[in-house]
Amino acid sequence: MGRQLLETRNLNRKSRDRERLSALAVKNISEPGIYHDGGGLYLQVSSLSKGSKSWFLRYRFDGKVRDMGLGAFADWPLAKARERAQHYRRMLDDKIDPIQFRNSQSDVQRAERKAVESARSKQKTFEQATRECLDTIKSKWKSDKHRAQWQSSLEMYANPLIGKLPIAGIGKRELERVLVPIWLEKPETADRVLQRIRTVLEWASARDYVSNYNPKIWIELKSLLPGRPKSEEKHFASCPYREVGTLLRSLRGTHISEMLKLAFEFVVLTVARSSEGREAEKREIDFKTRVWTIPATRMKLGVTHIVPLSDQAMEVLRRAFLLDPDSPFVFPSTSTGRPLSDQAFTKVVLRESLGVAYTAHGFRSSFRMWAGEQTNYERVVCELALAHDIKSDTEAAYDRSDYGGKRRKLMQEWADFIQLPAH
């Protein structure tokens, strides 16, 4: 009986050693400092945050003393703080480091939250993804009018059928539903809608909203769409390739602005489309690697195009940069500061200054005729230089590479053939 009484007294003393503070005392303490409740549980009153109070547990594990935060007094009153401290002391009895355990739990929780967020993102609808895509690429629009046209075409033809569908679930069949009604009746509109949907899906894929995106979808989609009647091809009036150099040398003697002359020379040297050259931005030019990277949003096929730059093209760029060093555009209009207009080449350069009926686009044909008759480069190399769509299975294999080495040689040979003297 006496031994049992002694054990009871020792237990009560141990309990009192661990519960030194009272709820009222903890509430009223305002003097900055650290107050021990017992069993490694401490109340800390801050001297920096106007007497704010928080709990921490001090313990020894693996020979090292560690302090573990247990939360603010406002969230954890004394009784709850003691329960929490007891929970972690039991871990110590089981040879578990409480801090390490809590960190591992946090990692699991973060992984779970990330998985939930990822799942939610994949539930974004096509309509939601379109809005986000537009906000992301808005700085690349040619004008507010272009953005409005881009957006309205999807709102009119795509959103009524696929706007509420999850972006991750849109495939060939969904696209077929959108395109078939307008494919034959409004071919130009259908082509634009197709290209704009493709831009949204590729943008969504880049942000992991679409985990199983397959680029082959665009090739396979064509087999689901009705065939269009063949129409007579539209040919642009092109300059015979043997006369290109003479024409450009004549242009240098005219009285039009130097910037316009340089822009036209650059387009001919790089065989770019007129709009691609006129709207070129300085950030697209890499003088070190000697390449011009045209973003997908400015390309007809919606695919980024890399243009190797010849010595002559590099010289044109250096002169253009010096003419207007502050403009973000390579060839800004001297009157507006904006990119040159679509009439600048055909009307001002070719019709009024040179008096010829050729079109700016026709010089791409001049290059292609020269490459076919005067060089031994494979067809695929010449077509890639023009950023043309390569349709055959064999040529599709080259999509994995821009065949840059041969293209660079080809573009230098074209520039050398034109024989433009240094400015």
Which residues in the chain are classed under CATH 1.10.150.130? 126-222
| Per-residue confidence (pLDDT) for residue 421, from 0 to 100 | 76
| Per-residue confidence (pLDDT) for residue 392, from 0 to 100 | 47
Under a CB-based contact definition with an 8 Å cutoff, are residues 265 and 331 in contact?
no
pLDDT tens, residue by residue, 278-296: 999 999 999 999 999 999 8
| Per-residue confidence (pLDDT) for residue 320, from 0 to 100 | 93
Chain length of the chain? 423
| Per-residue confidence (pLDDT) for residue 341, from 0 to 100 | 84
Which residues in the chain are classed under CATH 1.10.443.10? 241-418
- Give me the torsion for CA of 249, 254, 259, 260, rounded to 10°: -90
| Per-residue confidence (pLDDT) for residue 322, from 0 to 100 | 95
CATH 1.10.443.10 fits 241-418, yes or no: yes
Under a CB-based contact definition with an 8 Å cutoff, are residues 366 and 244 in contact?
yes
| Per-residue confidence (pLDDT) for residue 17, from 0 to 100 | 67
| Per-residue confidence (pLDDT) for residue 102, from 0 to 100 | 81
Nearest-10 crossing angle of helices 187-206, 126-137? 80
| Per-residue confidence (pLDDT) for residue 33, from 0 to 100 | 87
**Bridge pairing between strands 305-308 and 291-294:** antiparallel
Which residues in the chain are classed under CATH 3.30.160.390? 2-104
Per CATH, the number for 126-222 is 1.10.150.130
Phi (first) and psi of residue 61, to 5 degrees:
-145, 130
* Structure letter (DSSP) for residue 166: B
| Per-residue confidence (pLDDT) for residue 31, from 0 to 100 | 87
pLDDT tens, residue by residue, 309-365: 999 999 999 999 999 999 999 999 888 889 888 788 888 888 888 888 888 888 999
Question: Which are the contacts of 360, defined by CB distance < 8 A and separation ≥ 6?
Answer: 264, 267, 274, 345, 346, 349, 350
Q: What CATH homologous superfamily does 2-104 map to?
A: Integrase, DNA-binding domain (3.30.160.390)
Q: What stretches in the chain show pLDDT beneath 70?
A: 1-17, 49-51, 105-122, 139-145, 230-236, 390-402, 423
pTM, entire model: 0.47
| Per-residue confidence (pLDDT) for residue 400, from 0 to 100 | 44
| Per-residue confidence (pLDDT) for residue 106, from 0 to 100 | 61
Measured distance CA(229)–CA(51) in Å, rounded:
82
| Per-residue confidence (pLDDT) for residue 10, from 0 to 100 | 41
Percent of the chain as helix, strand, coil, to the nearest 5: 55, 10, 35
**Bridge pairing between strands 285-286 and 291-294:** antiparallel
